[in-house]
Structure 1
Amino acid sequence: MSDDQPQPRADEEAAAGPLRGIRVIELGQYISGPYASKLLADLGADVIKVEAPEGDPMRRWEGNGTMSPQFAAYNRGKRGVTLDLKSAEGLDDLLELARTADVLIENFRPGVAARLGFGPDVLHDLNPRLITCSITGFGGGGPYAKRPAYDTVISAVGAMYSQVVPADTLRPLGPAFSDLLSGLSASQAVLAALHARSERGEAGEGEHLEVSMVGSLIDFLTEAASTFLETGQVAGPDSRPRRAQAYACVGSDGKAFVIHMSVPEKFWTGLVAVLGAPELASDSRFDTREGRVHNYDALDAELKAITERMPRQHWLDALAAADIPHGPLNTVADLFDDPQVASMGLVEEITGHDGTPLRVPAPSTIFHRSGRPALHAAPGLGADNERVLSERTPA
């Protein structure tokens, strides 16, 4: 096989995955809950997504009446069931499913699950080994707790936007930070709870987990938060790039790339050589790391003025030869054509819910022993009602 061909993944063959035998009930909408359980499904868990009869609102985001690509992304690998949880029959079906489950994840507002009859205390009495996980915007208490919690609101309150949005832009930017990070935090917490339960043996009980979107952001912004609490310094969008000595440049062909010099002085001296600009090394503004941090904007302008003289590939080749940290600034359209990404087998083709071929990002972690299960598309609305509801009898 030539070096430029995609290399086979170690877990290429369909495998059970490390979470084989773990059943997860997901009562999630939009992103945070569905993303948490999608991560568990990728690891081999049997995830049963429970939706209201009208379905998760994200199903209809594209207005095509079937399944939006956003829903498909966050709900692959699951089985789908519809239940009316406001009815006695629907609640009974859910409780029977919970008897057979290891984990139940929900992202309702605080108190909603208990009001509908399946709060953590009820579920624990029903199934002491069950691990329940509630994802909320602001946690279970406090003045904001019962407010509607969407990513834009949480990303503003949790200071994420202050780290990525320039002061002169003042508009929400980027992916759904708080949704995704709280989903990631929830999946991590579930895995820890499963381990703790297994350590307690056959009689091991589950526990209730609370994950907040705003708390997940603060945990993610640990550097900025800790620095402020210790020194009073307030980080902004350019604080980390300035400290890390990271720069974005553009070649003469209009294509962008980044350079990261960090601490080792060899990267600075190597960059000066690559650029053919010895005058930068002798410039008193830039001859020390502290000077480059302090005069970040001036150096940024100097680098851009030089790199715009030659096309991007010229600089990428030269930077690679000099072993300077760098990379093309890819768009999503560029990403899967990048030779490194293409070599890693991070895209797979599966059969979509309507029978058509569908290319999807593959899980990035390789389990060399247990492997991972084959990927499956997100389920149609209520597609697995008959089969799942017939499996309610506990093993």
Structure 2
Amino acid sequence: MSAEQAGPLAGIRVIELGQYISGPYAAKLLADLGADVVKVESPGGDPMRRWEGRGTMSPQFAAYNRGKRAVVLDLKSERGLAELLRLAGDADVLIENFRPGVARRLGFGPEVLRERNPRLVSCAITGFGADGPYAARPAYDTVISAVGGMYSQVVPEHILRPLGPAFSDLLSGMQAAQAVLAALHARNATGHGEHIEVSMVGSLIDFLTEAASTYLETGQVAGPHSRPRRAQAYACRGSDGRAFVVHMSVPEKFWTGLLDVLEHPELAEDPRFASREARVANYDALDALLKAITARMPRQHWLDRLAAHDIPHGPLNTVAELFDDPQIASMGLVEEIDGHEGTPLRVPVPSTRFSRSGRPRIHAAPGLGEHDAELLGEASMAHEGSRA
């Protein structure tokens, strides 16, 4: 196998029983590193397959499930459970994101898995953890992002609605993948696997470590503007309406350089902005001034001047603009692959590069039960006629 086809996790088999985002994303990250991921779905399939009315291959499902193989098992049947346990017996990792207790109720709790395969690393992703007053509640990203404090950090006071990507799903998926890698490393020393529990709400709190630690230490409550104010980060629009950002951080040279860019040296003498502490205290006033000044010329004028003065800055790209950005385009972060049913598909690829192990070739997300014949016994394929 060539280096480009292998990846650092070549030879690792992952069984994924995931739906929607957190579990599938964790397994996708491992597949991107070369793991052989087998996605196990019910006869109806992962519900995300049918988003946007595109049959069984929505763009969202394709994004979180590329690079995997897929089988269909009815885990409520003896035959389906037996086949799952057989697959787990030969695997290195099993990931699921059911509600607490579901895996045990269906017959593949961590104790059963450990008995079958002492080297197996099992990982359960839940919304609120295994116990506690919220544990049994349905846990979707919006709920967790609200309870876990994320929305208080990104939703402006005048906008009362959920926004942004699936923060808690993605962060818990990343934390689960990281934990799995750590457990596989520990297994090299002990010869034994272990069970991992990752909660979506806990992953958010861990991600918000600065805001959480600051509150616990000082009582200060961070909000959407706390970090930009402290970091001296600003967003402006040029006269053409196109947005960009400037991040001055701590070094005074960035402030004095910005004054040269703006051709407003007199601001250095303004007591409201004479020091970093003053600029933090008068953030709103400086923000308004910067917006008024930069609105006089097009964005590219400012980008060129900021680059010439070595000021941290960048265009505020939309997703539509992102892949045309010259830096992004130069990094080889998009590849064309054969999509579902052979249709060419452009996809983002991992940015991490390994000097020796390479990375595997990117494959499109699998069809529902696409690898049944390859991975399952004939008796376990009796569900074939029941698929949607």
Length-normalised TM-score, structure 2: 0.96
Instruction: Provide the C-alpha distance between the structure 1 equivalents of 2:56 and 2:184, rounded to a whole number of angstroms.
Output: 35
- The counterpart of 1:359, out of the listed 342, 346, 360, is 346
**Which residue of the partner structure matches residue 161 of structure 1?**
151
**Which residue of the partner structure matches residue 79 of structure 1?**
69
The amino acid of 1:62's aligned partner reads E
Q: 1:267 Cα deviation (Å)? A: 0.1
Q: 1:159 Cα deviation (Å)? A: 0.3
- The counterpart of 2:108, out of the listed 118, 128, 137, is 118
**Which residue of the partner structure matches residue 139 of structure 2?**
149
**Which residue of the partner structure matches residue 296 of structure 1?**
283
Could you say which structure has the higher helix fraction? 2
Instruction: Provide the C-alpha distance between the structure 2 equivalents of 1:244 and 1:300, rounded to a whole number of angstroms.
Output: 13
Q: 1:138 Cα deviation (Å)? A: 0.3
Unaligned runs of 5+ residues in structure 1 are 1-11
**Which residue of the partner structure matches residue 35 of structure 2?**
45
Instruction: Provide the C-alpha distance between the structure 2 equivalents of 1:102 and 1:54, rounded to a whole number of angstroms.
Output: 26
Instruction: Provide the C-alpha distance between the structure 2 equivalents of 1:367 and 1:150, rounded to a whole number of angstroms.
Output: 34
Q: Which moved more, 1:57-66 or 1:211-220?
A: 57-66
Cα RMSD (Å) of the superposition? 1.0
Q: 1:14 Cα deviation (Å)? A: 2.9
Match of 2:52, SS state, is: coil
TM-superposition CA deviations, 1:295-320 (whole Å, max 9, x none): 00000000001000110000000000
Unaligned runs of 5+ residues in structure 2 are 379-388
1:322 aligns with 2:309: yes
**Identical positions, percent:** 80
1:69 aligns with 2:56: no
1:205 aligns with 2:192: yes
Match of 1:284, SS state, is: coil
**Which residue of the partner structure matches residue 129 of structure 1?**
119
Instruction: Provide the C-alpha distance between the structure 2 equivalents of 1:244 and 1:274, rounded to a whole number of angstroms.
Output: 19
- The counterpart of 1:339, out of the listed 320, 326, 350, is 326
Q: 1:15 Cα deviation (Å)? A: 2.3
Instruction: Provide the C-alpha distance between the structure 2 equivalents of 1:359 and 1:305, rounded to a whole number of angstroms.
Output: 40
Instruction: Provide the C-alpha distance between the structure 1 equivalents of 2:3 and 2:184, rounded to a whole number of angstroms.
Output: 26
1:178 aligns with 2:168: yes
Instruction: Provide the C-alpha distance between the structure 2 equivalents of 1:378 and 1:64, rounded to a whole number of angstroms.
Output: 14
TM-superposition CA deviations, 1:253-281 (whole Å, max 9, x none): 00000000000000000000110011211
**Which residue of the partner structure matches residue 235 of structure 1?**
222
Q: Is the 8 A contact 2:8 2:359 kept in 1?
A: yes
Instruction: Provide the C-alpha distance between the structure 2 equivalents of 1:273 and 1:283, rounded to a whole number of angstroms.
Output: 15
Instruction: Provide the C-alpha distance between the structure 1 equivalents of 2:282 and 2:377, rounded to a whole number of angstroms.
Output: 67
Instruction: Provide the C-alpha distance between the structure 2 equivalents of 1:134 and 1:60, rounded to a whole number of angstroms.
Output: 24
Q: 1:368 Cα deviation (Å)? A: 1.2
Match of 1:249, SS state, is: strand
Instruction: Provide the C-alpha distance between the structure 2 equivalents of 1:281 and 1:81, rounded to a whole number of angstroms.
Output: 65
Instruction: Provide the C-alpha distance between the structure 1 equivalents of 2:265 and 2:311, rounded to a whole number of angstroms.
Output: 17
**Which residue of the partner structure matches residue 383 of structure 2?**
none
1:244 aligns with 2:234: no
**Which residue of the partner structure matches residue 3 of structure 1?**
none
Instruction: Provide the C-alpha distance between the structure 2 equivalents of 1:348 and 1:84, rounded to a whole number of angstroms.
Output: 35
Instruction: Provide the C-alpha distance between the structure 2 equivalents of 1:193 and 1:85, rounded to a whole number of angstroms.
Output: 26
Match of 2:176, SS state, is: helix
The amino acid of 2:180's aligned partner reads V
Q: 1:13 Cα deviation (Å)? A: 6.8
**Which residue of the partner structure matches residue 6 of structure 1?**
none
Q: Is the 8 A contact 2:3 2:356 kept in 1?
A: no
Q: 1:66 Cα deviation (Å)? A: 2.6
Instruction: Provide the C-alpha distance between the structure 2 equivalents of 1:249 and 1:148, rounded to a whole number of angstroms.
Output: 40
Match of 1:315, SS state, is: helix
Q: 1:62 Cα deviation (Å)? A: 1.1
TM-superposition CA deviations, 1:322-350 (whole Å, max 9, x none): 00000000000000000000000000110
